[in-house]
Chain A
């Protein structure tokens, strides 16, 4: 037996907006959220752009005691989830919570905390790192915080499937309800990987080029899309040539939009 599944609440905090209305209107206006990064370590990178969640002050949402045990990527998840729960006007009884779960996606989890630990151990030769490092940085920390906060006692799983992590989490949550394993699922994803080590790793993968970076910083209109495609076609990364259909489709779509 399968059941219909409905989405009853939405929430988002992202480089494009701090709630669903702001997020949607900014997307419609063509804002990508990509900008020049102001990080203190930016000089060490050839990647100088990114899409940070600006003006996010954790103190507006959490006490200092709570922040002791909540990493940035979990903070973002909790803020977005709170919007979704409020939007859904979700109120669950004791028995209903047993059949309510959390599926989240996160690829690097608490990358910042992990890097802080590495700096202490490998750079400063300090044998002591913070005792909560594991609990802060593990990929399933955000999902765990959500279960704790909303007393959701059903299945709790975190997917780490690269860029599709959150989409997989939402899709699998859908299947949980559709096939009767759960009645309510809180699903989504969060990431906070604009750290020196994580960005250095992406830089090493050469998925970015400076020229493309420049074009991405511009507001989007038809001519600028064409310019972006021109740069892309002129100096694409090596893997790009191996996927001719992607290239052709990308060029056509950009020209026609």
Chain B
């Protein structure tokens, strides 16, 4: 399951953004988010989804980019069945 809906909900709560503006291809910069607010957001995402982001440098420009990173980490950090 994609983390996109959770990310959109958290962006609405944390930044007072409107859900209709948070389409997957919405640019974070266009939403008013800068690198610092994205860092703070990712920190809160770690708490919410109980994941640990890695030190790997990834390019995050859109809402979908955030979801892609999170989905990949969830898959990697999922305990083996």
Contact = CB atoms under 8 A, between A and B. Distances in A.
A230 to B, nearest CB: 52
B10 to A, nearest CB: 12
A69 B40 contact: yes
B14 to A, nearest CB: 7
B9 to A, nearest CB: 15
A131 B37 contact: no
A132 B16 contact: no
User: Which 8 residue pairs spanning A and B have beta carbons closest together?
Assistant: A64-B16, A68-B37, A69-B36, A65-B15, A68-B40, A65-B32, A131-B39, A131-B43
A188 B34 CA distance: 27
Given A63-B32, A65-B32, A132 B15 contact: no
A69 B34 CA distance: 10
15 contacts: A63-B15, A63-B32, A65-B15, A65-B17, A65-B33, A65-B37, A68-B14, A68-B37, A69-B34, A69-B36, A69-B37, A128-B43, A131-B40, A131-B43, A132-B40
A135 interface: yes
Interface in A112-166: 128, 130-132, 135
B33 A132 contact: no
Interface in B5-51: 14-17, 31-34, 36-37, 39-40, 43, 47
A63 B14 CA distance: 11
Interface string B42-75: 0100010000000000000000000000000000
A135 B15 contact: no
A132 B14 CA distance: 15
